[in-house]
Copies of this chain bind each other. A is one copy, B any other.
Amino acid sequence: MSAAADSINIDRILAGEPRAVARAISKVEDGVGDAFELMKAVFPHTGKGLVVGITGSPGAGKSSLVDRLAGLYRQRGERVGIVCVDPSSPFTGGAILGDRIRMQALGLDPGVFIRSMATRGNLGGLARATVDAVAILDAAGYEKIIVETVGVGQDEVEIVKTADVSVVVLVPGMGDDIQAIKAGIMEIGDVFVINKADREGVLRTEKELESLLSLAHRPDMWNPPIVKTVATENKGLAELASAIESYGEFQKESKSGGVRRAAVARWRLLELLRERLLERALEGEGADEQLDQLALEVADKRRDPYSAVEEFIAAGTLGEPRVG
C-alpha cells in the first residue's frame, strides 16, 4: 500500500469508520488524480454489498421512498449507505439538498451513511466520483448502498445504470414530459415502482407501463416487476425490497450479469480516462492561462473554438505520458 493511500487510512475505511469513509469520499470528489492510490487500495475489497440505483421524475417521491427503504433494511440489521446525486449548478458546485435534511428523516442512526455528491464544476467527473463513493461504502461493509438521483438527465441515467439493480420510480398521472422521461428511462429499469399509489390514475399508469415494458426487449429475458407503493405510509416497501433482492439474485447467476458488469467496467474506464486526460492536459505549465486567453479570443469572436482547442493541444504538454 502506498503512502498516499495510507494517509487516508484504508484500515479505518475497511473497519467502516464513518469519518474515514467521509474523508475518502471527499478525496474522490477532488479529482481522479487524488483518488488514484486510494481507489487502488479500496477496489479489491468491493463487490460484497448490493448497489441499488433509484431514479425517476422529480415529484415522484424518490427521497421518501429511499428513506423508508433504508429504514426497512435497518430493521433487518443491515448497514445502509445512501449516495445522493444532486443537479447543482456547473459553475458554483456544492450539494443542494444537503445531507442535513435527509439526516433529520433518518435520525442519527450510525448504521446509515448519507452523502450528497455534487458536480465538480467544469471539470466533470460527477459520475466517476459517485461510482467511487459507492465502491468506498462497499469496501466499508455497507450491505446495501442506495444511489439516488435528484435530477433526471444524461449523467444521472448513466450513474443509475452502474448499480446492481436499477429502480425507476413513477407516479400516477403526470404530464406529457413524463411520457418522454418514461421512454428515456424505460430500458434502465430492473424494477419499476408506482409510488403514491393511493392517487387516482394508478391503474392507467400501470397499464401504460405494462404495455411499454411489453415492447422493450431485454437481452437477459428478465421481466421487470411493477411494485405499487405509498412510501409515506410504508406501504409496499417489503414488496419493493423483495423485488430488488430477486433481481440481484437473478443477475448474480445469469450470464447477462457478466455482460452487464463488463459494460459497466468499460463505461467506468472511459469516464476515468476522459477525466484523467483532461487533468493531464490542464496540469501542464501555463495551460490554465493559455486556456483563459483562448477563451477570451473565442468570446470576442477573434477565433473559433475548434482552432483554439487544436492550438491548445498542439502547444500542449500532452507529449509526455505521466503516471499517477
Contacts and interface: CB of A to CB of B under 8 A. Distances in A.
A278 interface: yes
Contacts of A88: 154, 157, 184
Interface string A178-192: 101101110110000
A59 B177 contact: yes
Given A266-B295, A274-B278, A299-B261, A156 B157 contact: no
Nearest to A307: B40
Interface residues of A, number: 98
B305 A154 contact: no
B187 A92 contact: yes
A39 B304 contact: yes
Contacts of A233: none
A304 B157 contact: no
A225 interface: no
Which secondary structure characterizes the binding site on chain A? Answer: helix
Q: Most B CB atoms within 10 A — which of A32, A58, A281?
A: A58
Interface of A: 32, 35-36, 39-40, 43-44, 46-47, 57-64, 86-92, 96-97, 119, 122-124, 126, 149-158, 161, 174-178, 180-181, 183-185, 187-188, 258, 261-270, 272-274, 276-278, 280-281, 291-292, 294-296, 298-299, 301, 304-310, 312-314, 316, 318-321, 323-324
Leading 6 A-B pairs by shortest Cβ distance = A153-B153, A43-B304, A266-B295, A151-B153, A58-B177, A265-B298
